[in-house]
Amino acid sequence: MNPERMPTVLVVDDNRDHSQALAKIFERAGYRVGTAGDGQEALTILADRPFDLVITDLRMPRMNGLDLLRNIRAMSPHVPVLIVTAFGEWTTYVEAMNCGCVDRPRFGVIVATALMLGVSGQAIAQAPGHGSMPGMQMEEKKEAATSEAPHGGMEMPDPMERPIPDEGVPRATEIKGGQLLPFKLVDGVKVFELTAKPVKWLILPKFKTLPDIWATTWSYNGQVPGPMIRVTQGDRIRVIFKNELPDPTSIHWHGVRVPNRMDGVAEPAITQQPVKPGETFTYEFTVKDPGTFFYHSHVETDRQIPAGLSGPFIVDPKRPKAKVDLDYTVMLQEWRVNPKTGKTWPAMPAMSEPNFFTLNGKAFPATETLEVKKGQRVRIRFIGAGQFAHPMHLHGFPFKIVATDGFPVPKAARLTKDTVNVAPGERYDIEFVAEEEGTWIMHCHILHHVTNDDLEPGGLIFAIKVTA
């Protein structure tokens, strides 16, 4: 073969044994191989001549794999980069995702390209003799082995109960749940509109052996969780609620002190009749107390709330006392979805044990990463919107519980903790100072809740990235 036409790969690793072993594998597979001892050296080489593929170690002196990836993206966005690491921690996945387009993290390997996986595919297809890259083959074998492990080849049987009807249910046009809901000011009243309707919601893009997981949900305004109503203590608010679901429903304002007839208890029909499909109901009240609350259906709650009918309701105090640099609300929910068929059952009713767990409507690694500067004060408001308790554990620094169920905790009574158990219906506001740099994670410590259909790492994990 004309050596000019041979595909080229740059192997970057500070361990010479590793890089030489890799180089041999690639040479045998028909690549022309260059080697570099770290990210800095790799950049110097790349400035001189282009390569079809860069395969790099993660942990190296002077410049690590992620910084190299960032630099390559800026320099030559078309070059696919394959990051190989024996240290496949969640934090690394999160950071890699922050670096841009990243293919699904796999066991020990993160495939990252500056553009799309298609670019990577082209480069791989150029390799002579093989349908795919040698490294890829080894890695796929590994993946197959792990994918069989969780159920021992057995799939979870579908629950006996009827699934959430999915015929004709469109995919959501919104990407994020819990978005701030705009209002119109009418004669001094903040007027909001909420519409309950079914949508398919992407709780997890392709992950390991799983396809995109689109749960069939019952949403408010096409978002999961429903949009955030954020008002100030003392505000008069009106919520015009429309039911576009196939079943009757209502809204209960969880923890909010409202007049009895606004309490939304429609099953049993104590404070109002259920809002039938196609009907509208108007809720109106003055918001008395500041704090973290939420709203949810109060009809057939065991089916409707786990189908998605809940959203955050945050009330800011009239005269704010403590200022925080970042104020983040986290709604915790559980799902039962058949990954193959997409059929969705409300998690919890007989035999419907959850197999997906979401934080603001997304399962890790699709959850958001909070970015803060060292020394900043962070408040996280947890809302237990589902049917399971979630002991949320923070790495890196302790926190204080500053409010429970919306009520402020007096300074002298604030517990210092690193884990807070958020039971169904509860809210906890925690605060901490991000005192150490790094990517720290917070996750549920019921470890099944950090899986996606039994595959780790998933579910209730999010990261807090602290930079200087």
What does the binding site for Cu ion look like in residue numbers (CB under 5 A)?
390, 444, 446, 449
Quote the least distance from Cβ 445 to Cu ion, whole Å: 7
Q: Which amino acid is at 183?
A: F
The angle at the Cα of 19, spanning 18 to 21, to the nearest 5 degrees, equals: 65
Residues 400 and 416: their CA atoms lie apart, in Å, by 5
115 contacts 81 by C-beta, under 8 angstroms: no
Closest to Cu ion by CB, 114 vs 347, is 347
Closest to Cu ion by CB, 250 vs 387, is 387
305 contacts 249 by C-beta, under 8 angstroms: no
Structure tokens at 436: 């150490």
Closest to Cu ion by CB, 199 vs 363, is 363
Residues 399 and 382: their CA atoms lie apart, in Å, by 13
Buried b (16+ CB within 10 A) or exposed e, 407-421: ebeeeeebeebbebb
Q: Which amino acid is at 271?
A: T
Quote the least distance from Cβ 76 to Cu ion, whole Å: 43
73 contacts 61 by C-beta, under 8 angstroms: no
Quote the least distance from Cβ 459 to Cu ion, whole Å: 8
Quote the least distance from Cβ 450 to Cu ion, whole Å: 8
Residues 263 and 234: their CA atoms lie apart, in Å, by 18
Helix intervals (H) in 49-116: 65-75, 90-98
Closest to Cu ion by CB, 69 vs 359, is 359
330 contacts 359 by C-beta, under 8 angstroms: yes
Quote the least distance from Cβ 444 to Cu ion, whole Å: 3
What DSSP designation does 3 have? G
Closest to Cu ion by CB, 138 vs 447, is 447
- In what helix (H) or strand (E) does residue 67 lie, and over which residues does it extend? helix 65-75
Quote the least distance from Cβ 441 to Cu ion, whole Å: 14
Quote the least distance from Cβ 193 to Cu ion, whole Å: 33
Nearest residue to 331 via CA among 302, 370, 294: 294
Closest to Cu ion by CB, 198 vs 354, is 354
Closest to Cu ion by CB, 181 vs 366, is 366
Residues 35 and 55: their CA atoms lie apart, in Å, by 10
Structure tokens at 437: 């740099």
Sorted by sequence, the CB contacts under 8 Å of residue 222 that are 6+ apart come out as: 172, 173, 174, 197, 199
Sorted by sequence, the CB contacts under 8 Å of residue 317 that are 6+ apart come out as: 232, 233, 290
Structure tokens at 158: 């579908």
Quote the least distance from Cβ 390 to Cu ion, whole Å: 3
Quote the least distance from Cβ 97 to Cu ion, whole Å: 22
